[in-house]
Amino acid sequence: MRVYFDHHATTPLDPAVLAAMLPHLGERFGNPSSVQHVFGQEARAAVDQARERVASLIGAGAEEIIFTSGATESDNLAIRGIGRALAGRGRHVVSTAIEHPAVLEPCRTLEREGFDVTRVGVSPEGLVDPADVVAALRPDTVLVSLIAANNEVGTIQPVAEVGAVCRERGILFHSDAVQAVGRIPVNVDAWKVDVMSLSAHKMYGPKGVGALYLRKDRRPRVRPQPQAEGGGQEKGLRSGTLNVPGIVGFGEAARVAKQALAGGEAERIRALRDRLLAELITRIDGVEMNGALEPRLPGNAHISIARAEAETLILSLGGTIALSSGAACAEAGGKGSHVLRAMGLPDDRVFTALRFGLGRYNTEPEVDVVVEALARAVKATRERSAPAAS
């Protein structure tokens, strides 16, 4: 039996998404820029509808959505593009210690270009304190970037509070909301974000397509410096022929997600996650939660299991149970997750950390299978690493 509990890494395509995409991989192959003929017109109409649907999921207007190749590109366009465009006004950016590399790296690039970047820390619970963001602001701050829901520990950050302060001070506010959109209600007005990154493949859509939300009446009304220049698609902010099948899939995924959220999907997934946690704690001794239980993404559980190294455990599960070790980040270079480090966790917690990401198609029997398999694997791992008797 294969069980997929790694929905922070990616999600399976919803069957409705696949069905919506297929015609656009076949007979509906037109280029949405070629609006002189019906082939192009059909493609344009499909893209327009997808734009409406993605916008509607986050309470935005269709004209505020720029399609990209994924959230990595969206984050880069936001951070580098806005930083460079505003460099004449100020060269200070505020972000946090628990961002995804798609934000961390462009911040480093800006530093090499002469910017200062302040990385606000987090509590041991994995939460940013808005007061720390306020304290980091300077007269030359041009951009604040805060991850909405962390991709490791799943903690949901105080986006609306930080947004309010940025709005008051006239500072542009970006949020990487990749892990939040489609999983919890997200509304760009309630959150007071000016710029937001989204990715289709984290919400049962296809890989290689994402979006940047760009508020129409943002202040200052800066135009991000484009990373890809060419034919001027997406208002010149992202040139290149649009990935029509991907965008159509993204739109359908957004439509389905909106419906699923209204229909109680988050509550169902939260109940599964709570069952998983309760059973793990009952069956295995030495289980500790990492990060605050609330506010947290409903499908996320993040634990450390004493005396059971995560990599070894995952290997001993034989590859059929998809989990992630909190420490297996290529970027970390063996030092362990920068997120867990920022939370102040010691080595033994960092290297025994497991991330579970539950999603739309998971079931109670799957939870039970995973708990059983993990309990056995922990026992075996501990027996192997225990000093031999006598």
161 lies in the site for ligand PLP, by CB under 6 A: no
3-state helix, strand, coil in the chain (%, to 5): 45, 15, 40
Query: Cα 207–152–208 angle (5° rounding)?
Result: 10
Beta-carbon neighbour count of residue 266 at 10 Å?
Answer: 17
Residue 329 bears catalytic tag:
yes
71 lies in the site for ligand PLP, by CB under 6 A: yes
- Quote the strand ranges of 225-346, DSSP E: 287-289, 300-305, 321-322, 324-325
Q: Helix (H, G, I), strand (E, B), or coil: what is residue 80?
A: helix
Nearer to ligand PLP, 20 or 198 (CB): 198
The DSSP string of 126-153 is S---HHHHHHH--TTEEEEEEESB-TTT
Type and span of the H or E element at 92:
strand 92-96
Nearer to ligand PLP, 102 or 256 (CB): 102
Tokens of 237: 């902010």
| Nearest residue relative to ligand PLP (C-beta) | 70
State the number of binding residues for ligand PLP (CB under 6 A): 13
Q: Which of 30, 32, 158, 210 touches ligand PLP (CB under 6 A)?
A: 210
Binding mask 15-54 for ligand PLP (x = CB under 6 A): ----------------------------------------
Nearer to ligand PLP, 71 or 284 (CB): 71
Q: Which of 179, 243, 300, 352 touches ligand PLP (CB under 6 A)?
A: 179
175 lies in the site for ligand PLP, by CB under 6 A: no
11 lies in the site for ligand PLP, by CB under 6 A: no
* Span interacting with ligand PLP, options 69-77, 284-292, 315-323, 327-335, rule CB under 6 A: 69-77
Q: How far is the CB of 7 from ligand PLP (least distance, A)?
A: 11
Cα–Cα distances in angstroms (integers) from residue 136 to residues 117, 147, 264, in the given order: 10, 16, 38
C-alpha to C-alpha distance for 167 and 91, rounded to whole angstroms: 18
Q: Which of 7, 92, 100, 296 touches ligand PLP (CB under 6 A)?
A: 100
Q: Which conformational region is residue 354 in: left (phi greater than 0), alpha (psi within -120 to 50 degrees), or beta?
A: beta
Residues assigned a catalytic role = 329
Residues that bind ligand PLP (CB under 6 A): 70-72, 75, 100, 102, 147, 151, 176, 178-179, 199, 210
